Structure 1
Amino acid sequence: MTSEKERLGYALGLNIAKNLQETGFEEFDYSAFSSALEDHYAKSELKLSVDEVNETLKNAMAKIQAEKHGPVMEEGVKFLEENAKRDEVTVTASGLQYRVMTSGSGKSPAPTDQVTTHYHGKLLDGTVFDSSVERDSPATFPVNGVIQGWQEALPMMKEGDKWELFIPFNLAYGENGAGGSIPPFATLIFEVELITVN
């Protein structure tokens, strides 16, 4: 490679290939990839519509995520299936599971209310990812400002209640996870005490 254009083209190709590989794209048609580059820069008629491009990439990313994080998702499904068989566990229509640990007699919050809670959150392997209990500092937040599993559970609780929540990934942080502590597709377990409705 003698010309600057050749070297630049090769360098760009390597850089793009590295990024694609890191994202998880290992197998695709290289000639179609090259054709797409040529069509774009030549302003030729594209062989896929914008919607088709977006749908294709979305499906490919979903497949990559499922392959990468499938074991975590499968572990969660198996756990919830077994957990649902326990007499003390209630399963809602959404798939949320809960166990009443302590019953209170106060009022229940509306979705727009602020609540003060104590909570202890962990993964299925027991790893604690967040705990107001360990910080010894109750947390106050709006009911509609938290994950879906909490948004469903809190209005069913009364002040003074303490519940154990078993939250499927789709009612928690979904396919993205949260930070470095909650992996994608993770089923979460929370002990939640509803202290006050504000």
Structure 2
Amino acid sequence: MSSLSLITSGVAWFAAAAVLAFLFSFHKALSGWIAGIGGAVGSLCTAGAGFTALTSAVTVSGVMPFTGHMLQITPLNAIWLITLGLCGLFVSLFNIDWHRHPQVKANGLLINLLMAAAVCAVVASNLGTMVVMAEIMALCAVFLTGGSKEGKLWFALGRLGTLLLAIACWLVWQRYGTLDLGLLDQR
């Protein structure tokens, strides 16, 4: 399989696992299994895409089906894909057992949405898309912390960072007329 098809499959697995884990959240153990297995398969696809891109040493561009999300996979972001895939694999496997504890809330939706957004942020070929995916990651992370005092502080600091990224996108757009990373690289 190509790195592009592996990325698409990985994000699809994360999305399907997120939706199914949410639908079955009334049964925590089942929701945990769905989230964990789907997340593990998505993580393996992500790591496989990174390994394929790193060993082939070529840049691959394409469009993610259903979303129109422009992708660019390079050997540099392949390292990040491998890292996300391996970490996501262990988090997903741990998440299966985590849902057996009585005080834990079902979090399969948030974990898998965070992973899908992280993968999409890494392979985004547009600066604006990358900022939106980073914001989705931040929102998922805040809800995963359970609304703690530290989580609220982190959320506020994250919004400041998002504001600065939005200003940076506006400045780049004003200067170059595009947010496409491929076109910016050529200039």
TM-score tier, shorter chain, comes to under 0.3
Larger radius of gyration: 1
Bigger strand fraction: 1
Bigger helix fraction: 2
